[in-house]
Amino acid sequence: MKCQKKYIILFVTISLFVLIGSGCNSISSTVTPGINPNPDINPENDTVSYVKITPSSSTIKLDQSLQLVVKGYNSDDEWVILDKSKIKLWNWSVLGCPDCFEGFVNLSPKSGSLTTTFSSAQVGTFYVVVYYQENIGDKYITHYTEVKVVK
């Protein structure tokens, strides 16, 4: 009986270290390719008031990839279904000299997707932005998030 308790305590301890080491927040915001990041059903008010980008992490190392997901919300702060064809553009900017980073930053896909993957071969503080347009002629609904790339 003593031996079983030791194994149970050891298992729980190791599990906690694994969860802490992998980052609980990154587990909940990671989207597996092929899985739709939209909610299952729309609320009654399904008009998009704002969008929000959720990165799988706010800091990455050189040449690592980061997945970003955009979610839409109505005026009641309820999560609504976004139409990926209305994602007009994913783009990035950087503090300093953006032209100096051309060719070193990869953002893919750049439109038509609720997710995008970001990576950089240079260190910097980047801003990734998404442009969503509910109806043709409407103003873009935008949101950006900061991503730090470190050595």
More confident residue, 36 or 35: 36
Shared domain for 65 and 26, answered yes or no, is no
Q: Using CA atoms, how far apart are residues 116 and 137, in angstroms rounded to an integer?
A: 25
Predicted TM-score (pTM) of this structure: 0.75
**Number of structural domains in the chain:** 2
Q: What is the pLDDT of residue 35?
A: 63
**CB neighbour burial string for 114-149, b if at least 16 within 10 angstroms, e if fewer:** bbbbbbbeeebebebebbbbbeeeeeebbbebebeb
Instruction: Quote the domain boundaries for residue 22.
Output: 1-30
Q: What is the pLDDT of residue 31?
A: 53
For residues 20 and 50, membership in a common domain is answered with no
- 4 and 62 share a domain? no
pLDDT for the residue numbered 32: 54
45 and 69 in a common domain: yes
Pairing assessment for the beta strands 59-61 and 141-150 based on DSSP bridges = parallel
End-to-end C-alpha distance for the chain, whole angstroms: 49
Triad 69, 147, 98: Cα angle to 5°:
115
Do 39 and 72 fall within a single domain?
yes
Q: Is the pLDDT of residue 5 over 70?
A: no
pLDDT digits (tens, 9 = 90+) for 94-128: 988 889 999 999 999 999 999 999 999 999 999 99
| 4 and 70 both lie in a single domain | no
Phi, psi for residue 95 in degrees, rounded to 5: -65, 135
Residue 109: cis peptide before it, omega within 30 degrees of 0: yes
Contacts of the segment 19-24: beta carbons below 8 A, 24+ positions apart: 23/57
| Same domain (yes/no): 102, 140 | yes
Task: Dig out the tokens for 101 from the structure.
Answer: 């980073």
Looking at the fold, whether 19 and 70 belong to one and the same domain comes out as no
